[in-house]
């Protein structure tokens, strides 16, 4: 059976991963195991990892005393750096200084908070 070949292969992979102390365990994930919102957000944050020191500093200065939530769109507008500001704000989310509403996609309309508001 084709499924048995896959299971045998995965058992072999699992054995060697543990034998070589590469990882503690092996898990099989499928698309049913991945939250589509988390996947969307991970892709967005991965795309904006290149630093822009001036924009990043301006975004930090704008948000370091942020009280309550503001939309990503409003923060971007207030920053005045167009796309550079948008990316800088998302880098602050990526770094953990800011957070979006839990369970929501990172879009211009998401409310952004200083880290710790929801934790």
CA dist., res. 37 & res. 104, Å (int)? 6
pLDDT above 90 (res 4): no
- Rounded to whole angstroms, what are the CA distances from 24 to 11, 14, 16? 14, 10, 11
Q: Examine the pLDDT at 36 and tell me if it is beyond 90.
A: yes
Q: What's residue 119's pLDDT?
A: 46
Nearest-angstrom CA–CA distance, 21 and 38:
29
Of 23 and 92, the one with more pLDDT: 92
- Number of H helices and number of E strands within the chain? 5, 3
Residue 118 has pLDDT above 60, yes or no: no
- Taking residues 74-95, report their average pLDDT: 98
Q: Nearest to residue 117, comparing CAs of 93, 94, 101?
A: 101
**Residue 114: strand, helix, or coil:** strand
Identify the band that residue 82 occupies on the pLDDT scale cut at 50, 70 and 90.
very high
Burial (Cβ within 10 Å: 0-12, 13-18, ≥19) of residue 32: exposed
Cβ neighbours for 60, distance < 8 A, ≥ 6 positions apart: 92, 97
Give the pLDDT confidence of 42-81 residue by residue, as tens digits. 999 999 999 999 999 999 999 999 999 999 999 999 999 9
Assess whether pLDDT exceeds 90 at residue 117. no
């Amino acid at each position: 059976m084709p499924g048995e070949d896959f299971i045998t292969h995965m058992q072999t992979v699992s054995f060697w991963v543990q034998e070589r102390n590469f990882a503690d365990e092996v898990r099989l994930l499928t698309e049913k195991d991945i939250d589509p919102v988390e996947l969307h957000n991970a892709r967005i944050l991965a795309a904006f990892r290149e630093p822009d020191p001036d924009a990043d500093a301006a975004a930090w200065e704008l948000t370091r005393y942020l009280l309550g939530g503001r939309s990503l769109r409003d923060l971007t507008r207030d920053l005045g750096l167009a796309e550079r500001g948008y990316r800088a704000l998302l880098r602050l989310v990526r770094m953990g200084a800011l957070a979006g509403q839990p369970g929501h996609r990172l879009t211009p309309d998401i409310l952004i908070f200083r880290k710790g508001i929801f934790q």
